[in-house]
Amino acid sequence: MAAWRGVEAQHVVSTLRLVDTVEEQDLLEQMLEGSKPALPESAQPKHYLLSTPFRYSPAHQSRFRPANAKGQWYGAQSVYGACAEVAYWRHRFILDSAGLLEQVLLTEHSIFQGVLEGESIDLMGQPWVQARSGWTHGSNYGETQAVAAEAQRREVQWLSYESVRAPGERCAVAFDVNCLYEPKQSLDCTIQRWVCKATRSSVMFTRDRESYVWDF
């Protein structure tokens, strides 16, 4: 499965505020890299956009990962699906930040493509789709985390599932960095730059003449 993933493109903008020269920028990036957890071991070198999620254990839970568990890589089969997932979390970020409730949050995002291969389960296929109500609950992740834990115990490397934020769209979650690969034309060639405008009532993604809007 080829899957699109969206990440906030903030690293250069954030660190440029702290330096005056390109040399200082490079040094600061090296210092930051040295302070991060180690990259996961993999059978072959991976692009940093494929491997980065696995070096952290986020304190918040996600659909297939309990809080403080090893990170996972999420993507969607379409750009729209990827934007919908990011839009949900942008909105959640505003609601959880009292100082932003009345603000307009503008951010730049990179949408890129990775390829998943290896042992997998399709929760949109039989017999798994019979439990669709458990896989697509809006806020209760108990059943999805349980199936993910059992899948990993049986050495399943990734799952495909229906998006909750964009019903009908197919998404994927990778548990193992070794099931992720760059597209044939290279990951960097797939990168699209999108701008996100988020408020407490709506989130918009726009690029050139394309745009998607979600009202909350």
**Residue 176, both tokens:** 């193992």
| 34 assigned to some structural domain | no
In the chain, the N- to C-terminal Cα span, in Å, equals: 30
Confirm whether 14 is domain-assigned: no
Domain span holding position 207: 2-6+39-215
Enter the pTM of the model: 0.91
**Is residue 12 predicted with pLDDT exceeding 70?**
no
Is 16 among the domain residues?
Answer: no
pLDDT score of 14: 63
> Is 178 part of a structural domain of the chain?
yes
Residue 82 lies in a domain: yes
* 15: in domain: no
Provide the mean pLDDT of the chain: 93
Bridge partners of 142, per DSSP, are: none
| pLDDT tens digit sequence for 119-141 | 999 999 999 999 999 999 999 99
pLDDT in tens, 28-84: 888 888 888 888 888 788 999 999 999 999 999 999 999 999 999 999 999 999 999
**Cβ atoms within 10 A of the Cβ of 54, count?**
22
Residue 18 resides in a domain: no
Do 183 and 2 form a contact (C-beta atoms < 8 A)? yes
Cα 205 → chain centroid: 15
Residues 125, 103: Cα–Cα separation, whole Å: 42
Q: What is the pLDDT of residue 11?
A: 55
Q: How many domains does the chain have?
A: 1
Q: Is the predicted pLDDT of residue 10 greater than 80, yes or no?
A: no
Residue 121 structure tokens: 């389960």
